[in-house]
Structure 1
Amino acid sequence: MNVFGIGLPELAVIAAIGLLVFGPKRLPELGKTLGRTLKGFQSASTEFEQEFRKAIDTVDVKADSTVATTPPEQAPD
C-alpha cells in the first residue's frame, strides 16, 4: 500500500502521533472533517475542469466559424 509515497509503516506512525496529540475522542472527528474537506476540493476541482473545458470548446467553435467565414486570400498577379 503506497499513498502519496507513504507506506504502511509511515501511516501507522502518523496515526500513532495523531492519537497522542489529539486523543482518541477527537481523532474520528478530525478524520471526518478531513474527509469532508477533501470531498469539497474534489467537487470544486471537477466543477473548475468542466467550466474550463466548456470555455475551451466555446473558443474552438468561435475560431472555427471565423476561419470558415474568412474569404481566401487573393493570389498576387
Structure 2
Amino acid sequence: MGSFGWGEILIIAVVILVLFGTKKMPDAARSLGRSLRIFKSETKGLMNDDEAKPAPAPQQAAAPAQEIPAPQADGTTISGVPVSPEQAKKA
C-alpha cells in the first residue's frame, strides 16, 4: 500500500463533495468543529480534576464521643452554639 498523492486526495475530495452536496458540507464541518471543541474542553477538565484532587488523608482512629455542654443559665448558648435569646427560649 502506497501513500496518497495529491491526485488521489483531490479525487476523494471531489467524490465526497458530490456525494454529500455543497449544502451539507459546511454544516458537517461546523458540527465536527463544535464536537472537537467540546471534547477538548472536557479532556482539559478531566486533567484539571486529577491535578486538583488532594491526596487521601491517612485515616485516624475514631475520637471518643464528646459530651455536649448544657445550656448556660442566661440562655446564650445551646450545645455550645451561640443563639439569640428568642431561640434559647424555644429550646
Pair in the same fold by TM > 0.5:
yes
Deviation at 1:44, TM superposition (A): 0.3
Deviations along 1:18-56, whole A, 9 cap, x unmatched? 21221001100000000000000000011000001112x
Number of residue pairs aligned between Structure 1 and Structure 2:
55
Per the normalisation by structure 2, the TM-score is 0.48
The Cα of 1:11 is off from its aligned counterpart by 5.4
Structure 1 unaligned spans of 5+: 1-6, 64-77
Residue of structure 2 in register with 1:69 after alignment: none
The two structures, once aligned, show a CA RMSD in angstroms of 2.7
Task: Mark the structure with the bigger radius of gyration.
Answer: 2
Counterparts of 2:5 and 2:44 in 1: how far apart (Å)?
A: 29
TM-score normalised by the chain length of structure 1: 0.55
SS at match of 1:25: helix
5+ residue gaps, structure 2, are: 59-91
Q: Tell me, in whole angstroms, the C-alpha distance in 2 between the residues paired with 1:28 and 1:59.
A: 47
Residue of structure 1 in register with 2:40 after alignment: 42
Corresponding residue number in structure 2 for 1:19: 17
More strand by share: 2
For the 8 Å contact 1:18–1:27, the answer to whether it is kept is no
Pair 11,52 (structure 1): closer, same or farther in 2 beyond 3 Å? farther
Fraction of identical pairs, as percent: 26
The 1:32/1:17 distance shift into structure 2, 3 A limit, reads same
